[in-house]
Structure 1
Amino acid sequence: MNSGEYQKFEELGLDQWLLKLCWKIDYKEPRPIQVLSIPPLLQGKNVLISSQTGSGKTAAFSFPILQTLSQDPYGIFAIILTANRELAVQIAEQIQIFGASVNLRLALLIGGLSSSKQVKLLGQIPHIIIGTPGRCAELLSIDVNFQKYIKNVKYFILDEVDRLLEPQIWDDIKKVYEQCESPQIALVSATLNNVTQQLKDEFANVNFVECINNPEQKVSETIKHKFVLMPDLVKDYYFIHLMKKLEGASTIVFAPTCRKCHELNELLNHFEIKSTCLHSMLPQHERIGNLRAYRSQKAQVLVATDVASRGLDIPNVKFVINWNVPKVEADYIHRVGRTGRAGRRGTAITMMTQFDVERVLAIENLITLKMEEIKFNEEKVLANMTDVTKAIKTIKIKMQQDGTTEKFIDLQKKKVRSKQKRKGSQEEQQS
């Protein structure tokens, strides 16, 4: 192999085995965020990494970790904490591939899986830990090996860090971070700009190199942004009409709640549109299985809550449908980032009612783009009104009978109580 083939990656300071890996996995040249962040990470600097979804951020922090580990291997060498279980699984799978040639030991520490098995993994002293903050903090409190070996951690990475700033989550992160004596830090997200100062305040004694790729361009140029305007009362009829038109195309539908996610998935399957779903009420083995079914194209549609909006790399997603307009504009960027990845083309379609105008305008202002309207003939949309209405009623009756509705109601009550408790705690601290 000609060394010229690796010339651009060589300029970043990567070792020969990583250059060969880049060629093997079809990384012909480094992406802009990798050019910005790999050198300072290799130089031992702390970094803030911000770039569009699908722009190669995982490799940007993984390659320096693996190169430094290969030169002086010990465990526990790096800890990577992220916003949700699915993203943790994905990062673990990617790093396992990247580090296959260096006998990498890796532990995945997430909720929903056996904690006793995870303790056994920690007993093998893994080089890299990838997990969610809650489970890592829990295991740290009970596992002596974890407490002992975490002190010498070289890299401390927070991925999708803007989603980790909720007080309860951040408390868990601090429990883990405070056990590390002097780690090198990387804070990573596609939407870092709004929380940069807050993060600097949290790490008050740390100097960061800002590795920010084209902050003005919030979303990929390969994504088309469209909306369908409809009265709120007939939203589900428009939804089924739209999904029938997209039948055969790989699609992710984002729903606002676990309950609505479940209902939309059932509705699509009723109309013989192969669909699966992903939300936090599902057991972890089902979440993993459903995501695999969608990735392997056994299901055409993945209906998901925002648990799937962060970082998941699923090739060839043609459409992202926002059943609801996100309340936080930055969430729109993460959702639509599931399509148009790595230069591919994609389309994001937002279902907009009379109550959503201001939020859509705010999103357009954030991404500095105007959405294009898709117009449907309402007569044609409502032609199947009777069938859709019957299907919705059947699904709701079934959910009531099998106890699913009650579970979602209990979840909502639990979330409200938790929110009230956090609010009360914050008010006490302020007073």
Structure 2
Amino acid sequence: MTTDFASLGVKPWLVTSLGAMAIKRPTPIQAACIPEILKGKNCIGGSRTGSGKTVAFAVPILQMWAQDPFGVFALILTPTRELALQLAEQFTALGSPQNLKLSLIIGGVDMRTQAISLSQKPHVVIATPGRLADHIRSSGADTIAGLRRVRVVVMDEADRLLDEGFAEELVECLSVVPDQFGDKTKGIPARQTLLFTATVTESVRALKEGEGRAREKGGREVFISEIDTDSLAVPPTLHQTYIFKPSTVHLAFLHTLLSTPGNIKKSTIIFTNKKTTAQLLSHTLKPLGHRVTPLHSDLSQRERTDSLGRFRAGAARILIATDVAGRGLDIPEVELVINFDVPRDPDDYIHRIGRTARAGKKGESLTFVDEKDVLLIKAIEERVGREMVEYKEEEGVSLEGRVVREELKKVSEAKRVAMLNIEEGRDEKGRKKGGKRRLETGEEGRGKRVR
């Protein structure tokens, strides 16, 4: 049985980098995949959330790059900005002894700055498909020239990238990198493809079959490892509960629940299905005394990064998020996950609750349910192979009594004020945009043009 990274063939400088990040022993997915990737095989790695998939591909990529630091060595595609930022942090930390040069290509950042970074041929490019596709379309051939000789392509959270929503951008991104056979006439070797996922979907299975056919035609050998995927993706140390109440009182119950002695200090993520709901919860709970911070796609990239940073540092106890926080983010101290809205897809439920009970630790999840959610809950229970149990109140605490006697009126007033503030903020934002647009188009006569 493998007990350390050196026995997997990992070089001493990388073992030292891993140790500096407090990573001493390989997880099963790392032990399985690292040696096979180092042999040059394509890899499809399936393992549950929190199992260390990033290290499973980052370590062999950096080791192969350090031995042959040629141009843009690797392209890593991932579905969200937050995951891209997290990957960039881990690659930078691991590759710093070898002066790794990295380019991060995500939305919400100036295109020109990114184009310059890409044109300077970094060693590793980490990108979201939409923004990289933007550069392929508009930044010129010289900017993306380095991608045409990439040695390794990674699809992180592959089940999400293979969804229809990413299809067009993904095809565009893959069109500029070498294919699985390369081009011997130009001296371009076949690319090595690494695919990692927590959930093996039909699209992932189809890709497996395609990789198998490519091997038959002379492509790279394919290594496939599935460890704790599917129903086992829910950690056994996670306690899943629900509260069944009318949706009209969910917010009052949420506030009361967060204020109980057993929960008042817990690091918590609250998931919503819509960014408008996340915004409303944030504006309502903060005046009620909760240290909250939001994370959704209506925020600027700086706001999203700062919000996640506050939560990780403990400056905010509660992160209120849409599913942009549902996948892959490494937030190790989350003790409680609350589904304020029941997710429509059972796999999204698995990813959400996977934010807690990581690395063998205990964790709790709580889902708010009303009459319209019953079929969704049944589908989730069937998917995870386990029934949720009804939330048991703490000794001496009556949620129902407190909500009715003390909190309902207070929360309703806070919600009303929050809705007014949100609406005023939208109006103000619209006026600012409108004013800027008029200056840009000369609609205010002699107004200076905005550059």
- TM-score (normalizing by structure 1): 0.89
| Corresponding residue SS for 2:417 | helix
Task: Show the counterpart of 2:205.
Answer: 197
Selected match of 2:259 from 228, 238, 244: 244
CA distance in 1, matches of 2:294, 2:53: 26
- Segments ≥4 residues shifted beyond 4 Å: 201-205, 404-407
Report how far residue 375 of structure 1 moved.
Answer: 4.2
Identity value in percent: 36
Structure 1 contact 293–299 (Cα < 8 Å) conserved = yes
Within a 5 Å distance, the mapping from 1:272-283 to structure 2 comes to: 272-283=289-300
**Stretch moving more, 184-193 or 196-205:** 196-205
Deviation by residue 1:66-91 (Cα, 9 ceiling, x = unmatched): 00001000221000010100110000
CA distance in 2, matches of 1:33, 1:218: 13
Report how far residue 24 of structure 1 moved.
Answer: 2.8
1:13 and 2:16 matched? no
Report how far residue 205 of structure 1 moved.
Answer: 4.8
CA distance in 1, matches of 2:197, 2:41: 18
CA distance in 1, matches of 2:274, 2:198: 23
| Corresponding residue SS for 1:75 | coil
Task: Show the counterpart of 2:346.
Answer: 329
Structure 1 contact 22–28 (Cα < 8 Å) conserved = yes
CA distance in 1, matches of 2:8, 2:127: 28
CA distance in 2, matches of 1:191, 1:168: 17
CA distance in 2, matches of 1:304, 1:19: 35
Structure 1 contact 254–324 (Cα < 8 Å) conserved = yes
Report how far residue 366 of structure 1 moved.
Answer: 1.5
CA distance in 1, matches of 2:354, 2:339: 12
1:399 and 2:422 matched? yes
Structure 1 contact 237–382 (Cα < 8 Å) conserved = no
Structure 1 contact 399–405 (Cα < 8 Å) conserved = no
Task: Indicate the RMSD between aligned Cα atoms, in angstroms.
Answer: 2.0
Opposite residue 410 of structure 2, the aligned amino acid is D
| Corresponding residue SS for 2:232 | coil
**Stretch moving more, 214-223 or 296-305:** 214-223
Deviation by residue 1:213-253 (Cα, 9 ceiling, x = unmatched): 13351212222111111122221111111111222211110
Within a 5 Å distance, the mapping from 1:85-96 to structure 2 comes to: 85-96=81-92
Structure 1 contact 80–159 (Cα < 8 Å) conserved = yes
CA distance in 2, matches of 1:168, 1:392: 34
1:380 and 2:388 matched? no
Task: Show the counterpart of 1:183.
Answer: 191
| Corresponding residue SS for 1:99 | helix
Change (3 A) 1:395 1:38: same
Task: Show the counterpart of 1:148.
Answer: 145
CA distance in 1, matches of 2:285, 2:383: 32
Task: Show the counterpart of 2:443.
Answer: none
Structure 1: tracts of 5 or more residues without a match = 1-5, 408-431
CA distance in 2, matches of 1:218, 1:392: 36
| Corresponding residue SS for 2:371 | coil
Report how far residue 145 of structure 1 moved.
Answer: 3.3
Selected match of 1:25 from 21, 26, 35: 21
Task: Show the counterpart of 1:429.
Answer: none
1:306 and 2:323 matched? yes
Task: Show the counterpart of 1:317.
Answer: 334
Opposite residue 24 of structure 1, the aligned amino acid is A
Opposite residue 409 of structure 2, the aligned amino acid is T
Deviation by residue 1:325-353 (Cα, 9 ceiling, x = unmatched): 11000001110111112222211111111
Structure 2: tracts of 5 or more residues without a match = 179-189, 216-221, 431-451
Structure 2 contact 119–144 (Cα < 8 Å) conserved = no
Report how far residue 166 of structure 1 moved.
Answer: 3.5
Structure 1 contact 34–60 (Cα < 8 Å) conserved = yes
CA distance in 2, matches of 1:303, 1:109: 25
Change (3 A) 1:167 1:367: closer
Structure 2 contact 238–363 (Cα < 8 Å) conserved = yes
Report how far residue 21 of structure 1 moved.
Answer: 2.3
| Corresponding residue SS for 2:259 | helix
CA distance in 2, matches of 1:404, 1:250: 34
- TM-score (normalizing by structure 2): 0.85
Selected match of 1:166 from 163, 166, 171: 163
Deviation by residue 1:111-169 (Cα, 9 ceiling, x = unmatched): 10011111111132100000100111111232333432112111101111111223352
CA distance in 1, matches of 2:276, 2:66: 46
Within a 5 Å distance, the mapping from 1:21-420 to structure 2 comes to: 21-141=17-137, 142-181=139-178, 182-200=190-208, 205-207=213-215, 208-215=222-229, 216-245=231-260, 246-375=263-392, 377=398, 378-383=400-405, 384-403=407-426
Report how far residue 7 of structure 1 moved.
Answer: 5.5
